[in-house]
Structure 1
Amino acid sequence: MIRFWIWLRNILIAVVVLGVGGWLLLLREVPQPINNDPAFAFNHGSIGNEAAQGLPEWIWRVLPIVFPEHLPGDQKGWSALGVAWRSGDELPIGFSNKTLGVIPRIAPNCAFCHQGTYRLNAEDPETIVSAGAGTRVDVQGFIKFLIAVGQDDKFNARNIMPAIKSRVDMPLWERVMYRFVLIPGVRFALKGQAETFAWMQDNPTWGIGRIDPFNPVKYTALELPDDGTIGNSDMMPLWDLQAAQPTTHRRFSVHWDGLLSDVHETVVAGAIGDGMTYKSFPGAEENLKVIEDFSNVAMPPKSPFSSDLDPGDPFYVSAEAVAQGAEIYAGLCADCHEPSGTRFRTPIPMVEIGTDRHRLDMWTAEAARRYGNYQEDYAWNFEFFHKTDGYNAVPLVGLWLKGPYLHNGSVPNLAALLEAPKDRPTEFWRGSDLVDPVNGGFVSGEDDDPLRRSWKVDTSVPGNANTGHTWGTDLGQAEKGALLAYLKTL
């Protein structure tokens, strides 16, 4: 019997030592380098999701090299996902690098979805726009890539370690850690993602530049059952959020359906949805504040459309047309889309706006209740989650960089948005960042931009309907032309 108790004591000591050692090596928060550039903090700062969503740095770096066949399209490297990579940065925009224990981990952050690029001419290099609408990013492609590599028999140390060794000279202890702990652990975790995202198999593809933003949260953190809803919608830019700050008289809604009416809660809830926990929040809180502050003041670049250009320039718009269009806009659009308007950032009832309702139905009253009370034993203090009955009247700042249009990206350009729904294109291609000088937005033909991977939008697919938002569709052609000229300048 004494031997048994000695044996049990030794086992318990070993478990404690292994647990503490594992925490020290793999999970312990350590001080991170400080960067005083708010844009860098937005593009690469931690949101506290490394333990849940992060990959050990050198596994992350070699995955596209070892498993190129699982990347979307025929591109190589992480650029296949449509993420931009600023010269001089160690990572593409939308990824953070944070050390937990002794292992750096790379994880997606807010900028993974909220980044933009554009080109005015086909041969131009891309111009990167921080906090943009993510019109080229393939979020679902990233998820499917990780699921596929986790199920691939090649995911083992025999295949991954040579790729790592060819790029970095690791000390022995780190090689041992990668070979016997990190690689098997990551594969086990990625295999589990297949079950976590099994609900995607029966839903329409999200597509480039779109995301189903809250079903993943509903089915995991909020523990709601799969209800078959479709939330596919465009990634929104995070520009000028100071215009969404409450006044003494009213609050303003954010998200496509206005499910929140507080910018701070939106930032924190977004980080939770991406894997932040109450344990990691203290280490991410400061950077989340920087992200919030940056989003309050970030603005898009000025529109290239101007009456100051030579009339032969493709981006020339006449001053007369712009002035006439501004008058039409003031009478027809400003009440919803200008900060001074009475309906600015308020949900417009579904019976009035008439756009595809799938994204609206995805967010339920029960989801709002559960998120509002999420982890009640921890003081998140959420107060402003709602269930609404319509789509938010969003600001039009940077409109020229937001195509395709409507919440689900079902209308390719501004010119088509001014046509009756029956006359709008039923099929087009999205994924380009080449500005369309004629119609506004980005070019949308299958072969319009061979330098970018594109994805076909079929408006007959559930969630993709191009109906509704008929304001301006009954104008005469001259008036439509004038309004289009003005909208291009926003």
Structure 2
Amino acid sequence: MDNYIRWFQRFIWIGIVMNMVFALPALFAPALLTSVVGLPPVLSDPWLENAGMLLVGISLFYMPSGFNAPRFVIHSWLCVLSRLVAVAFWIYLIDTSNTPTVFVPMLYGDLSMFLILGVTLFMGSTPAHRPWALLVDGWHAWCQGWEARWHRHGFRVGLLITLLVLGFIGYETWYNMLRVVPEEKFTSDEDHFKYAAIGLGIEARIPYYLFAVLPQMCPEKMPKPGGWEAFGFLYENGRDLPIGMAKRQIGYPTVEPNCALCHTGSYRASASDVAKPIATAPANTLQLQAFQWFAYDCASDPKFTTDAVMTAINAKFQLGFFERLYNRYLIIPMAKTALLKQKQAYAWQKLRPAQGPGRTDTFNPTKMVVFGFPDDSTIGTVDLPQIWNQKPRESLYLHWDGNNNDIHERNYAAAMAVGATPQSVLPESFNRVTQWLLGTKPPAWPFALDQARVAQGKPIWDNNCAGCHEFGKADTGQVTTQIDQLGTDPHRLDSFTVGLVQAFHGFKKPPFDFNAYRKTQSYSNTPTDGIWMRAPYLHNGSVPSLWDLLQTPDKRPVVFNTGSDVYDPVKVGFITSGAQVQAPTYFRYDTRLEGNHNSGHLYGTQLTDAEKWALIEFMKTL
């Protein structure tokens, strides 16, 4: 037995060394640790340092067993049990994490230590010091002690009071933090698309009360005075939330984005008109990146304190006593922590040209935030696409680079990029949106048409464009032209990597199960239905109108303003110059910046001006 105990004590010290290999970097170099093991940089925060500190503390408690295991036999079995707890934790992370392979070596390490320590201690212990005997003795002692206390009146009263207090605290915690309130039911599929939750994880949701007061918390950081409209959010019918923001309540009310946030656009015939929202159109006014960084920077501001936030909330809402209590001490601090973690996770955005209205980086968030890839400096910024008319797009290779031909996969991947997880997503709600999108038609051209010119433009379209961009043609929805021949900005193409394809295909957590992704060498021939409402053009939104697209690159605008929804029915696009787009809320798009180039796609540039105008008139009808 002594020999087994000696080996047990030796492995206790080996285990302490293993703990220190993780604990010391976690304490003093958390960013280096996450980089080495391949975790997302968002985990390089004080919580990782706290984990290192706790692991050092646990290792200190291992030491008595390392010196004299027989003397501290219960303590020694707790050391074995701690390894089993670690095994269960790693299994949980492997099952739920987006980077499961990172945790496999840790699982093997703790599992090996559990087996070695358990076997050596068991073999080196007398029968009376083995787990079952110790548990039986402990149970008998506990029962005897409980029986002796139960006969005391004061103990029974104290126990009753304790249970009542704990029960009340438990109920209030469930009610304010965990209670699932049924989602609002929408009769209209379009309203469901606009306002129903699709199921994002807790860190991707913002507490409803905080969302309501955030603009007034940091007004100096807003693009202009007012509310969320300053970032291009669209409101309708007097609703308290903009289109694309859904209310979801699990304990406390929260706000989460859904598909409509990035896929509801608007237009006006003139600056004096009321904007007309178009569901499933590109969100041409939405400044998503600016909205993100406003929230991050506001949460980083020294004046963003719990007291200040609660003062603003209490001035606007009538909260109950316990609701105020949970918001003050749990909900608001949790939200601030989540925003600061996201700020760190998305710091890579500051190393690239600003996205501006109607654009986002599609796959870099998936690479770096979801899968934990290191920053490869690629630029994936693209113009937000329309999502109407999905039925004829089934089996076509879409995304700008034609990397996937499965609509369900594309939709789930988009949701995952903004914070949905296999555990949080709401399949019924999500599938209702998907089914509705299959049959949703593109908006008809809302202005007058020159029918004679439309007729002139039809054969020009057939001879120059239809082969790649009309439904039913063999090349539509396919990648047929190499990037050097196409000539458009290659950055988005380069940002989607073979490594990301492999990561997608290795992600098997229903309902997220990706099999159809591929790496291509150019951009896809996208269908052009509803093309009038999809300005600006090319994958990166670098050409403001169809007229400009039919010019050679040297004649296309080099710098122009975006963010307006006032429509130019002549050139077919949104206005980009003049007094209406000089306000600071509009974005100055510079095509000379990396990822913003307006080169390539020379098709149609050889036409005469008369032919171009006729072609444009016909394309208004698509």
TM-score by length of 1: 0.89
Aligned-residue offset at 1:42: 0.8
Tell me which residue corresponds to 2:259. Answer: 110
The reply on whether 1:78 has 2:228 as its aligned counterpart is yes
The two structures, once aligned, show a CA RMSD in angstroms of 2.6
Q: What letter is aligned with 2:543?
A: V
Aligned-residue offset at 1:297: 1.8
Q: What letter is aligned with 2:189?
A: P
Tell me which residue corresponds to 1:95. Answer: 245
Tell me which residue corresponds to 1:313. Answer: none
The reply on whether 1:400 has 2:538 as its aligned counterpart is no
1:47-446 alignment runs, 5 A limit = 47-71=198-222, 73-100=223-250, 102-245=251-394, 251-281=395-425, 284-307=426-449, 317=450, 319-348=451-480, 349-374=482-507, 376=508, 378=510, 380-446=512-578
The answer for unaligned runs of 5 or more in structure 2 is: 1-71, 79-137, 143-162
SS of alignment partner, residue 173 of structure 1: helix
Aligned-residue offset at 1:30: 4.1
In structure 2, the CA distance between the partners of 1:330 and 1:98, relative to structure 1 (3 Å rule), is same
SS of alignment partner, residue 387 of structure 2: coil
SS of alignment partner, residue 391 of structure 1: coil
Cα distance in structure 1, aligned partners of 2:535 and 2:211: 31
Stretches (4+) displaced over 6 A? 13-21
Cα distance in structure 2, aligned partners of 1:305 and 1:189: 46
1:324/1:483 contact within 8 Å kept? yes
2:483/2:521 contact within 8 Å kept? yes
In structure 2, the CA distance between the partners of 1:116 and 1:208, relative to structure 1 (3 Å rule), is same
Q: What letter is aligned with 1:62?
A: V
Cα distance in structure 1, aligned partners of 2:273 and 2:176: 46
Tell me which residue corresponds to 1:10. Answer: none
SS of alignment partner, residue 484 of structure 1: helix
Cα distance in structure 1, aligned partners of 2:502 and 2:169: 39
1:355/1:466 contact within 8 Å kept? yes
1:337/1:393 contact within 8 Å kept? yes
SS of alignment partner, residue 285 of structure 2: coil
1:156/1:183 contact within 8 Å kept? no
1:256/1:407 contact within 8 Å kept? yes
Cα distance in structure 1, aligned partners of 2:504 and 2:366: 9
Aligned-residue offset at 1:301: 2.4
Residues matched between the structures, number: 464
Aligned-residue offset at 1:25: 4.0
Cα distance in structure 1, aligned partners of 2:421 and 2:529: 33
Aligned-residue offset at 1:267: 1.4
Q: What letter is aligned with 1:394?
A: T
Aligned-residue offset at 1:89: 2.3
Aligned-residue offset at 1:223: 1.5
In structure 2, the CA distance between the partners of 1:48 and 1:473, relative to structure 1 (3 Å rule), is same
Cα distance in structure 1, aligned partners of 2:465 and 2:202: 45
Tell me which residue corresponds to 2:150. Answer: none
2:504/2:515 contact within 8 Å kept? no
Cα distance in structure 2, aligned partners of 1:399 and 1:138: 21
Tell me which residue corresponds to 2:195. Answer: 44
SS of alignment partner, residue 310 of structure 2: helix
Q: Percentage identity across aligned positions?
A: 34
Cα distance in structure 1, aligned partners of 2:166 and 2:477: 54
Cα distance in structure 1, aligned partners of 2:289 and 2:497: 22
Cα distance in structure 2, aligned partners of 1:23 and 1:330: 63
Cα distance in structure 1, aligned partners of 2:582 and 2:393: 38
The structure with more helix, counted as a fraction of residues: 2
Q: What letter is aligned with 1:286?
A: E
The reply on whether 1:461 has 2:593 as its aligned counterpart is yes
2:422/2:510 contact within 8 Å kept? yes
Cα distance in structure 2, aligned partners of 1:444 and 1:411: 11
Aligned-residue offset at 1:216: 0.9
In structure 2, the CA distance between the partners of 1:380 and 1:301, relative to structure 1 (3 Å rule), is closer
In structure 2, the CA distance between the partners of 1:327 and 1:342, relative to structure 1 (3 Å rule), is same
In structure 2, the CA distance between the partners of 1:16 and 1:263, relative to structure 1 (3 Å rule), is farther
In structure 2, the CA distance between the partners of 1:18 and 1:255, relative to structure 1 (3 Å rule), is farther
In structure 2, the CA distance between the partners of 1:183 and 1:403, relative to structure 1 (3 Å rule), is same
Cα distance in structure 1, aligned partners of 2:495 and 2:580: 34
Aligned-residue offset at 1:28: 5.3
In structure 2, the CA distance between the partners of 1:118 and 1:476, relative to structure 1 (3 Å rule), is same
1:432/1:453 contact within 8 Å kept? no
Tell me which residue corresponds to 1:314. Answer: none
Cα distance in structure 2, aligned partners of 1:338 and 1:237: 16
Aligned-residue offset at 1:423: 1.3
Cα distance in structure 2, aligned partners of 1:426 and 1:15: 66
Per-residue CA deviation, residues 78-99 of structure 1 (Å, 9 max, x unaligned), is 1111011011323101101011
Q: What letter is aligned with 1:275?
A: G
Per-residue CA deviation, residues 342-369 of structure 1 (Å, 9 max, x unaligned), is 1111124313321100010011011011
Aligned-residue offset at 1:18: 9.0
2:398/2:404 contact within 8 Å kept? yes
SS of alignment partner, residue 220 of structure 1: helix
Aligned-residue offset at 1:299: 2.3
The answer for unaligned runs of 5 or more in structure 1 is: 7-12, 246-250, 308-316
Cα distance in structure 2, aligned partners of 1:43 and 1:379: 22
1:129/1:300 contact within 8 Å kept? no
